[in-house]
Amino acid sequence: MSTLQLKMGLTDRVAKYSRYLLLLPGFVLLLLFLLIPLSMIVGISFFERFTVTGPENLTLKNYVAFFTSPQTPVILLNTFGMSLLACLIAFLLGYPMAYFLVFRVKSARVRFFVVSLLLVPFLIDWSVRVVAWLPILGESGIINYALMSWGVIKEPLELLFGRSALLIIWPQTYLLWMIFPSYLALTRIDPDIINAAKVLKAPPHRVFFDITFKLSLPGVVMGFIFVFVSALGDYVTPALWAGGIQTLGLSVANYAANFVWPYAAALSTILVAIALLILYVLLKVVDIKKLVY
């Protein structure tokens, strides 16, 4: 009897732990390519120099330098302000599209077709997509040409080479990251829940804000995170099109290119820390726990 018990105990335990095996490949990848490099970066940021022989002189100098620089407020604003604004614009453009697809397009086939269309830009090489903005947003690009020939404006708008470029390019580039999770969250809503709100006397705007929108919030938050993180990580667009404005990502790239590893590492750490803080506040405010039912 005791051997039987032992056996049962063993298989039970194997069964209990074996489900964690599913996590193993992902965990190994995370460890190798994210956690280890990230902790190395954080580690390096606390040294004065990083040479072939290794790090030298433990110090907080890098952080002090960053936070006392007069440039810092502008850089932070460029980085996080622009990314958040891009999220907001992507939301304002993307959410109505997702809503329309789910609630106004009756045919599942058409819906699938439109979603597939949204993926087409991703088939075009990234470098082409980045450069293609010139003939569209440039001084003699399509938009300025159209606006001027319709007489809406006299002088070409300066759409590129300024912050406005980021607010056009980022939302466009990452629109799908907003549409997709919103779309999925909206399709998950039981139509009878919306019906229930209607029969309980809710006018259309209350049905939307009290029920539909609230229930789709997990998807919207997901979309926000996707767009936010993508925009934060993109330093090429600011470098090419934003007319010399500085962002944290850009600074990291610059310092890293000049082998000033510790300072680049400190900037990266600050970038990640503030990003995490913003995400944390976002999740707190939305209280996503209550919505993920």
Partner 1 sequence: MGKALETKELVKWYGKEVLALNKVTFDIDAGDFFVIVGPSGCGKSTLLKIIAGILDYDSGKLYINGVDMKGVPSYKRDVSMMLEMYALFPHMNVFDNVAFGLRMLGKDKSEIEKEVKEALRLVGLAGLEKRMPLELSGGQRQRVALARALVINPSVLLLDEPLSHVDYRLQRKLMEDLKEIHRKVGNTFILTTHVQEHALSLADTVMVMNTGVIEQIGKPEEVYTTPATVFAARFVGEINLFSAQIKSWDGGLCYLTTDIGELKANPKNKNTLPSSGKVAYAIRPEYVKIGEEARLCDNKTEAKLVSYYYFGHYMEYVFEAIGNTKIKVSVPTEKVGNLTLGSTYLLGWSAKDVLLIERPCMIEGLNIEEVIYGK
Residues near partner 1 (CB under 8 A) are 190, 192-193, 195-204, 206, 210-211, 214-215, 290-291, 293
Q: Read off the tokens for 180.
A: 């997709």
Is the CB of residue 17 less than 8 Å from the CB of residue 11?
Answer: no
CB of 278 to partner 1, least distance (A): 24
In the complex with partner 1, the residue whose CB is nearer, 103 or 145, is: 103
CB of 93 to partner 1, least distance (A): 26
CB of 286 to partner 1, least distance (A): 11
CB of 102 to partner 1, least distance (A): 17
In the complex with partner 1, the residue whose CB is nearer, 202 or 279, is: 202
In the complex with partner 1, the residue whose CB is nearer, 7 or 206, is: 206
In the complex with partner 1, the residue whose CB is nearer, 29 or 193, is: 193
CB of 106 to partner 1, least distance (A): 10
In the complex with partner 1, the residue whose CB is nearer, 217 or 267, is: 217
In the complex with partner 1, the residue whose CB is nearer, 56 or 210, is: 210
CB of 73 to partner 1, least distance (A): 38
**DSSP-based three-state secondary structure for 58:** strand
**DSSP-based three-state secondary structure for 276:** helix
